[in-house]
Amino acid sequence: MENPDVKPIVAALLEPLPPLVKGRNDLSDPGVVELLVRGYVDQCLAAFQEVLRGNVEQDAAIDAINAQATALNAVFLGTSGFDTVVVHPWNAADQLGQFLQDTVGLDFPAEDCVRAALIHLATHVMHAIQGGTEAWEQQVDALVGEMRDLLLGRLPDGA
């Protein structure tokens, strides 16, 4: 089932990728997956900054982050309708969604587990930056790497 609202939301995340992968964003390529996750995290960080500056209400920022996660859920589960995205049998709720449900311990339907995992990631990113340590960027980089691995069906290091 294609969701027409997904296209405008995620198009910005997919835009910088085509030159790197000759017009196709293959969801089995760790570089492509990491760029998508990194783009999502960058948008989360920007939303957090806007809240801290008082430019955006917290609820609006949460809604925007959820919209991005919902759009990426459709991309990673192969239902976005983007013809520039190469999906594989893995990119399905009964495969990737079930893996995330089992591995991350998500209490959501498999069809919603990419979104739930990304919201979980955003929460961890927010905690990392609120920690006030100088190493928050390294923590965020590690979180991005873990999510990349999960979306590729690999257990993160140490899991």
pLDDT, one tens digit per residue, over 22-66 is 567 899 999 999 999 999 999 999 998 898 899 999 999 999 999
Asked if residue 1 is part of any domain, the answer here is no
Helix (H) or strand (E) holding 121: helix 113-130
Asked if residue 68 is part of any domain, the answer here is yes
Residue 17 has pLDDT above 60, yes or no: no
Cβ proximity of 21 and 29 under 8 Å = yes
> Could you read off the pLDDT of 66-83 as tens digits, one per residue?
999 999 999 999 998 888
Q: Between 130 and 1, name the one with better pLDDT.
A: 130
Asked if residue 147 is part of any domain, the answer here is yes
Q: Considering Cα of 34, then 78, then 117, then 6, what sign does the dihedral take?
A: positive
Residue-number span of the structural domain to which 33 is assigned: 6-151
Tell me which residue has tokens 């980089």. 141
In percent, the amount of the chain with pLDDT more than 90 equals: 64
* Residue spans of beta strands (DSSP E) within 9-157: 25-26, 85-86
Asked if residue 157 is part of any domain, the answer here is no
Asked if residue 80 is part of any domain, the answer here is yes
Asked if residue 135 is part of any domain, the answer here is yes
How many structural domains does the chain have? 1
